[in-house]
């Protein structure tokens, strides 16, 4: 995911309805954010709870509490907070995104797509929404729709490794192995520790493409590197394909 967690660190957040929020609610919200940044999630929820008691319309406190619950894997409770926040601020694209993101990890992919559609309508250039919608389409095996979303992401950031990985996997599923091989090569040039890409490029070279005089050397080298990087099954693949 493209810097998403760090991008949501609660530093310099804005206060909704600043003229109506009680001063103490603002203080508790700041305490909540500071505790979140210190990864003191349970303490952070207590501060946000207090902020919401003092000002039930404090959208930031409700939103942040929901995101903290995501960090604690309390996904269903997080959805409730995001729904409450959206009832107060229905045009907040980030909350729609967080709701879609949470549904993705609940494996409720159709609901994720619905929320992410709303986020994209409100903020088309926020590519994290497009990326997670693509991942949701991918999980539903809607490969063309998924590929379109990942291509949209890559138009904005051609070097986004996670989007490239998703794209390479779809190429493989569609039996477009040359494109998959080229994409895995691009990923490796950007991330030399990407064991998944070394493994898949090696397998494609050795079992499908078999192109070039030195394809065996290159493919086996990829599997060896994937093994050294700890990728599951890489060692077995190396033994089967390269120990002849």
Q: Please determine, for residue 15, whether its predicted confidence score (pLDDT) is greater than 70.
A: no
What pLDDT is stored for residue 18 in this prediction?
47
Rounded average pLDDT over 119-127 = 98
Number of other CB atoms surrounding residue 179 within 10 Å = 15
pLDDT band at 243 (very low <50, low <70, confident <90, very high): confident
What 3-state class would DSSP assign to 2? coil
What pLDDT is stored for residue 211 in this prediction?
85
Burial (Cβ within 10 Å: 0-12, 13-18, ≥19) of residue 74:
middle
Average pLDDT for the chain: 93
Tell me what percent of the residues of the chain surpass a pLDDT of 90.
88
Rounded average pLDDT over 222-231 = 98
More confident residue, 230 or 6: 230
Q: What is the pLDDT of residues 192-220, one digit of tens each?
A: 999 999 999 999 999 999 988 899 999 99
As a CATH number, domain 158-244 is: 1.25.40.10
What pLDDT is stored for residue 213 in this prediction?
84
What pLDDT is stored for residue 212 in this prediction?
84
What pLDDT is stored for residue 244 in this prediction?
64
The domain segmentation of the chain, as residue ranges, is: 158-244
> Of 105-109, 171-175, 211-215, 235-239, where does mean pLDDT reach its minimum?
211-215
Residue 237 CA to its chain's centroid (Å): 29
Tell me what percent of the residues of the chain surpass a pLDDT of 70.
91
Q: Please determine, for residue 1, whether its predicted confidence score (pLDDT) is greater than 80.
A: no
Number of other CB atoms surrounding residue 243 within 10 Å = 7
| Greatest Cα pair distance in the chain | 75
Nearest alpha-carbon partner for 70 in 83, 85, 81:
81
More confident residue, 45 or 8: 45
> Of 18-22, 33-37, 70-74, 157-161, where does mean pLDDT reach its minimum?
18-22
CB 194 within 8 A of CB 183: no
């Amino acid at each position: 995911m493209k810097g998403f967690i760090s991008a949501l660190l609660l530093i310099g957040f804005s206060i909704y309805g600043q003229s109506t929020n009680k001063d103490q609610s603002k203080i508790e919200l700041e305490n909540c954010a500071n505790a979140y940044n210190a990864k003191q999630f349970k303490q952070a929820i207590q501060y946000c709870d207090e902020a919401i008691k003092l000002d039930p319309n404090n959208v930031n406190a409700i939103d942040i509490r929901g995101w903290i619950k995501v960090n604690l894997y309390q996904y269903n409770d997080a959805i409730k907070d995001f729904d409450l926040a959206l009832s107060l601020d229905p045009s907040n694209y980030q909350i729609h995104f967080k709701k879609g993101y949470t549904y993705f990890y609940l494996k409720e992919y159709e609901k994720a797509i619905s929320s992410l559609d709303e986020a994209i309508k409100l903020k088309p250039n926020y590519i994290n929404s497009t990326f997670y919608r693509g991942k949701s389409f991918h999980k539903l095996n809607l490969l063309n729709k998924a590929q379109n979303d990942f291509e949209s992401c890559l138009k904005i950031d051609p070097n986004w490794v996670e989007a490239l990985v998703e794209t390479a996997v779809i190429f493989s599923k569609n039996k477009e192995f040359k494109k998959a091989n080229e994409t895995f090569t691009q990923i490796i040039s950007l991330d030399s520790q990407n064991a998944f890409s070394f493994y898949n490029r090696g397998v494609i070279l050795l079992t499908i493409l078999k192109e070039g005089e030195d394809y065996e050397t290159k493919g086996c080298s990829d599997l060896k590197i994937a093994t050294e990087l700890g990728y599951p099954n890489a060692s077995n693949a190396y033994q089967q394909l390269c120990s002849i």
